[in-house]
Amino acid sequence: MLTSRCVFITAVLQLLISFPAVAGEPRIGLPGCQTSCGNVSVLYPFGMGPKRCYWPGLKLTCDDRGSKPPRLLFGDGGAGAFEVVEISLEKLTMRVVSHKLQAININMSSGGSGRLSLGYTEAIGGAPYFLQQGGNEMILTGCNVQATLRCNGNIVNRCASFCPIFTDDNGSPLPAQYFAADYNSNSCSNLGCCQSSILSSSTSYDVEVNRLGDCLRYGPVPDPFPDDVPMNVLIAEEGWFYPENVINVPSWPTVIFRWAVPHGAAIPVGPCPDEAARSICKSTHSYCTQEWSNIQSGTILASATPGYTGNPYLTYGCQDIHVCDQKEKHGCFGHCERLPGYVSCRCPEGTNGNYSIPGGCVADTNTGNLALIIGLSAASGPFILLLVLCILVLSSDFKEQKLRMLRRKFLTQIRGQLLKQLVSHRADIAERMLISLEELQKATNNFDQARRLGGGGHGTVYKGILSDLHVVAIKKSNIVVKRETVEFINEVAILSQINHRNIVKLRGCCLEIEVPLLAYEFISNGTLSDHLHTEEPRSLTWKDRLRITTETCKALAYLHSVVSVPVIHRDIKPSNILLDDALTARVSDFGASRYIAMNQTGTTTAVQGTIGYLDPTYYYSRRLTESSDVYSFGVLLIELLTRRKPSLYRSNEGVGLVIDPMNRD
């Protein structure tokens, strides 16, 4: 009996140990994977050991061969691999020990030039690491020399080091003057060394060292200049430099690298495609962005949404940081309240002022006066009581006005007045478009994750049922930034005035909070991309593909020619074509769309869209016309005919926007 109980208890303990840590200590790696090497924590997507423990291109190796503590190395840990001493998910940086980013004892007879490289080939096989912009510096030591740092032929840094030599009254040279007056200082004064911050991110630099001649000699001093100061050029983390670190070579410097997750071809800055967001952002309360990298591949970054912290690359990796429990730390010195998707801070009831500074909320004088009047009324009879009742009514009106002012603040922050103007051309549109926050919360069960349909960099989409029993898809922005707000407003402005069977309908919007909420008709059958690039039973027949092509073409013709002010969609692609149960096409996602005045053929604007579907003329000239949509539609047509995704063609001149429909993955 005792044995069976022990077996049961052991099984329960193993189950508890293996269960994901939703709360408590944050997880940093995948189950069953090593998460530390010596004194360094290894945070996923980095990892060691089996391939399942790390994202492709982010492999590390723990080298315990004679090293105490063991060293964490890039890649397979081969010769020349950098040592990693710290990884930061929040800052997206790595601190490494570098011996490649320095030129030691430069020989001026050979020209005084060289190359400082991160050494991808030897260390990390082309993974997306590059020197952090800021936080690193170039250091030069030597006498009367100048170092120039170049990147792709352009000068990014230059500094000079001097060693003036003086003589005594008898003409004998005095000891060389070099380094800072305080030998223990970590800064130079251009005596024997110089420092200059590096504000350019790259994977390699060319360095040139030149003599400055004898302009600083004083008196009859012999050649050569003092050679007890080594002539070195190196890149190091700001704050690493001390004279003994340079003279007692080798003392390998630490360097700050920036990293990101590799993701195919180079792509512009912006939100991730949905499929990339699903593969990268494994945790709830996380979002995905993509950015340019300094290498030949694109990069993707995952981050916790505001109010959360942790590892967004892991399931249950992001946890609530309980902002209101530490509200002063986050700049809130008033009443803090956590609401769906954001945190509200305001002065407590009965006070007003600036809640973002200590003591900024002061007692409301109106409240004190009201209490005084109530006291007087009790002693002064019915007349005073009647006066007090009038004041109470006015006070209630004042509170209502205060509430309206608060809502007006939110409306102003998201250009609510502009939206009202756009939807008030017809009263029925205005009445239909505005939906209260309370109704949307009821429709989604307070934005329950069970109602979540998907999402990406722009926002998260929830399924809901409004009070009129309409089923809607509710889009909520992940982050409160000006660009996201402008795109939401743009989408409302366009869709509120469009009525076409092949364009998704906007049911309404909510303007009562900082984060704008949009409610669309619910399209239940996914996107064209879901059906086009899959096998049975969801794949499309030839007849369906031809019909979807015609319906998409009709929608674009309507936008370009029928509406009172033509609209350029600017992001036509399969993932923005929704299909209903009858496989009828509905064009969606008008966040990047633009109006074109009737008397104009186009407009000049910043480039937005999806590489592969983007019109090359628009990409290079920034001139947006109806032809830009026509080009994207042409790519979509080829994709429908061939069932192959477009790919980029790279020439020696750079990135081209040539579509290769016959490319095989």
Positions marked active-site: 571
**Mind listing the pLDDT tens digit for each residue in 364-376?**
665 555 555 555 5
The CATH number of the domain covering residues in 416-521:
3.30.200.20
Residues 393-419: what's their mean pLDDT? 59
User: Which residues sit in the known binding site?
Assistant: 482
**Mind listing the pLDDT tens digit for each residue in 302-336?**
887 777 788 888 887 887 777 777 778 777 888 88
pLDDT class of 587 with cuts at 50, 70, 90 = very high
- Residue 26 is predicted with a pLDDT of 60
**Mind listing the pLDDT tens digit for each residue in 134-182?**
888 888 888 888 888 888 888 888 888 877 665 556 666 555 544 444 4
Q: Is the pLDDT of residue 502 over 90?
A: yes
- Residue 369 is predicted with a pLDDT of 58
Asked whether 449 and 476 are in contact (CB, 8 A), the reply is no
DSSP state of 647: -
- Residue 656 is predicted with a pLDDT of 41
Q: Is the pLDDT of residue 553 over 90?
A: yes
Report domain extents, the chain: 93-259, 416-521, 528-655
Q: Is the pLDDT of residue 605 over 80?
A: no
Q: What are phi and psi of 97, to 5 degrees?
A: -95, 120
More confident residue, 107 or 4: 107
Q: CA Rg, the chain, in Å? A: 32
More confident residue, 36 or 9: 36
Quickly name the fold that domain 528-655 has: Transferase(Phosphotransferase); domain 1 (1.10.510)
- Residue 123 is predicted with a pLDDT of 36
- Residue 222 is predicted with a pLDDT of 41
- Residue 633 is predicted with a pLDDT of 93
User: In the structure encoding, which two tokens stand for residue 492, read together?
Assistant: 């409302």
**Pairing state between β 232-237 and 113-117:** unpaired
Asked whether 461 and 467 are in contact (CB, 8 A), the reply is no
In percent, the amount of the chain with pLDDT more than 90 equals 7
Mean pLDDT of the chain: 73
b/e map 404-416, b = 16+ CB within 10 Å: eeeeeebbebbbb
Residues 19-43: what's their mean pLDDT? 74
**Per mean pLDDT, which of 122-126, 142-146, 250-254 is the most reliable?**
142-146
Asked whether 584 and 554 are in contact (CB, 8 A), the reply is no
- Residue 121 is predicted with a pLDDT of 40
The region of weakest confidence among 174-178, 244-248, 288-292, 452-456 is 174-178
- Residue 634 is predicted with a pLDDT of 92
Q: Is the pLDDT of residue 426 over 60?
A: no
- Residue 1 is predicted with a pLDDT of 47
